[in-house]
């Protein structure tokens, strides 16, 4: 069984490639390397003993996507390709709308041409907006996204629902990720942000390794036990295994299903910092700052639907996530750049 991973060289894509190969699938990666490194392929090969077939292409270009389908018998697609930097998306919204929507439409059109009907999409908990109560469950209304990145996720979910309604052979699983952190336990693949990290864990690990001086904690007056924002952090390897279950589900079913991938537990920013310090033995200096615009107070998942439909649940705890993120950062202080 051959599965195409668009954006498969990125953080979540590379971990999913490993778990898909471990589960016996043939993995084909298409990535334009705009925010990833070709070295990931060597690392995947070291971990699994198998080198995935690689196409350095932009999946917004139809001819290139067609070529992949003509050279391989693709049974399903996991679509990671897309821009993901929230603050950039508020400054350059058209870049996000153009790329994230175009890549999705192009892949879907080629899938339709080639009669490939199983699709898994990288959606986000951001589609729950800021009006719902935690834990977020899949029946809650979506909307109220606060940035262009989040809006593209919501639009693509709606596109997929329409496509599934029109084509009774088509199946889409809309995976709503909570906060993926951690790294493969080998320390060979992990998160390698370009420039100053926006997300909490890479900022913590870069501070611990000495690249950044101090971690800014955004907001101390939230209505949470310690005043800092609460999120559902999930180990990227667990998240990757969720994709293995989701593509199987997509190949065996039809219709569009939104499914949360989270742990069901919320941790505050300060809890994550403390857990990291304990796991690494390294002190992380913090400075308390104003709230970051667009942040919600609480975000954590209801995990029942994933358990029921995918027979999947997260296994790793926050200590594992911190240990593995630190192991990756120590072994690769500059990501894939050295
Ligand atoms: N935070 C800090 N300091 C930092 C970075 C983050 O205090 O330097 C705090 C944030 O304010 C927030 C928490 O850490 O309370 C987590 O922030 P992240 O940026 O790591 O993650 P977000 O929850 O903001 O964003 C994530 C994904 C997005 C997605 C969003 C909503 O990165 O892709 O969840 O689902 F859109």
Give residue-wise pLDDT tens across range 175-212: 999 999 999 999 999 999 999 999 999 999 999 999 99
Ligand 1 pocket test: which of 199, 263, 272 has the largest number of ligand atoms within 8 Å of its C-beta? 199
Ligand 1 touching residue 231 (CB < 6 A):
yes
Residue nearest to atom 3 of ligand 1 (CA): 217
What's the start-to-end Cα distance of the chain, in Å? 35
Q: Which pair of tokens denotes residue 59?
A: 């999946």
CA distances from 193 to 172, 199, 231, 271 (A): 29, 9, 20, 23
Per-residue pLDDT tens, the chain, 338 aa: give them: 999 999 999 999 999 999 999 999 999 999 999 999 999 999 999 999 999 999 999 999 999 999 999 999 999 999 999 999 999 999 999 999 999 999 999 999 999 999 999 999 999 999 999 999 999 999 999 999 999 999 999 999 999 999 999 999 999 999 999 999 999 999 999 999 999 999 999 999 999 999 999 999 999 999 999 999 999 999 999 999 999 999 999 999 999 999 999 999 999 999 999 999 999 999 999 999 999 999 999 999 999 999 999 999 999 999 999 999 999 999 999 999 96
Ligand 1 midpoint to CA 61 (Å): 31
216 in Cβ contact with 290 (< 8 Å):
no
Q: Which pair of tokens denotes residue 267?
A: 């941790």
Strands 267-268 and 230-231: antiparallel
Residue spans of beta strands (DSSP E) within the chain: 2-6, 26-30, 53-55, 76-79, 118-124, 171-177, 179-181, 215-218, 230-231, 233-235, 255-261, 267-268, 286-289
CA atoms 259, 125, 216, 335: torsion sign? positive
Ligand 1 midpoint to CA 125 (Å): 11
Q: Give pLDDT, residue 19.
A: 99
Return the residue matching tokens 């200096």: 285
What are the catalytic residues?
149
Residue nearest to atom 11 of ligand 1 (CA): 218
Q: Give pLDDT, residue 128.
A: 98
Ligand 1 pocket test: which of 212, 229, 284, 318 has the largest number of ligand atoms within 8 Å of its C-beta? 229
41 in Cβ contact with 52 (< 8 Å):
yes
297-308 in b/e burial notation, b at 16+ Cβ within 10 A? ebbbbbbebbee
Give residue-wise pLDDT tens across range 267-312: 999 999 999 999 999 999 999 999 999 999 999 999 999 999 999 9
- The whole-angstrom separation of Cα 312 and Cα 243 is 10
Q: Give the distance, in angstroms, between the CA of residue 247 and the centroid of all CA atoms in the same chain.
A: 15
Ligand 1 touching residue 199 (CB < 6 A):
yes
320 in Cβ contact with 234 (< 8 Å):
no
Ligand 1 touching residue 37 (CB < 6 A):
no
Ligand 1 pocket test: which of 292, 294, 318 has the largest number of ligand atoms within 8 Å of its C-beta? 292
- The whole-angstrom separation of Cα 171 and Cα 194 is 34
């Amino acid at each position: 069984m051959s599965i195409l991973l668009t954006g498969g060289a990125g953080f979540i894509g590379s971990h999913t490639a490993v778990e898909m190969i471990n589960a016996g699938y043939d993995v084909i990666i298409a990535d334009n390397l705009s925010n990833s490194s070709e070295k990931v392929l060597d690392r995947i090969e070291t971990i699994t003993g198998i080198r995935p077939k690689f196409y350095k292409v932009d999946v917004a270009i139809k001819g290139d996507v067609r070529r992949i389908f003509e050279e391989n018998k693709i049974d399903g697609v996991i679509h990671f390709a897309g821009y993901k930097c929230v603050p950039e998306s508020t400054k350059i919204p058209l870049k996000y709308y153009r790329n994230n929507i175009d890549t999705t439409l192009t892949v879907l059109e080629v899938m339709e041409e080639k009669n490939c009907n199983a699709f898994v999409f990288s959606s986000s908990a951001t589609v729950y907006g800021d009006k719902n109560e935690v834990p977020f469950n899949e029946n809650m209304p979506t909307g109220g996204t606060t940035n262009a990145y989040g809006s593209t996720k919501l639009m693509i979910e709606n596109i997929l629902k329409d496509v599934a309604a029109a084509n009774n052979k088509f199946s889409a699983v809309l995976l709503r990720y909570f906060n993926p952190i951690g790294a493969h336990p080998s320390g060979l693949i992990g998160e390698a942000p370009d420039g100053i990290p926006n997300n909490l864990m890479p900022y913590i690990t870069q501070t611990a390794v000495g690249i950044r001086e101090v971690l800014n904690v955004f907001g101390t007056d939230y209505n949470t036990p310690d005043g800092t924002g609460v999120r559902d952090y999930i180990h990227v390897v667990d998240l990757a295994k969720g994709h293995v279950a989701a593509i199987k589900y997509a190949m065996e079913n039809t219709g569009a299903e939104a499914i949360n991938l989270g742990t069901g537990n919320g941790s505050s920013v300060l809890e994550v910092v403390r857990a990291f310090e304990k796991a690494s033995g390294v002190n992380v200096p913090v400075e308390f700052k104003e709230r970051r615009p667009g942040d919600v107070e609480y975000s954590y998942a209801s995990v029942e639907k994933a358990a029921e439909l995918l027979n999947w649940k997260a296994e790793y705890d926050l200590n594992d996530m911190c240990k593995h993120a630190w192991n990756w950062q120590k072994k690769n202080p500059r990501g894939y750049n050295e």
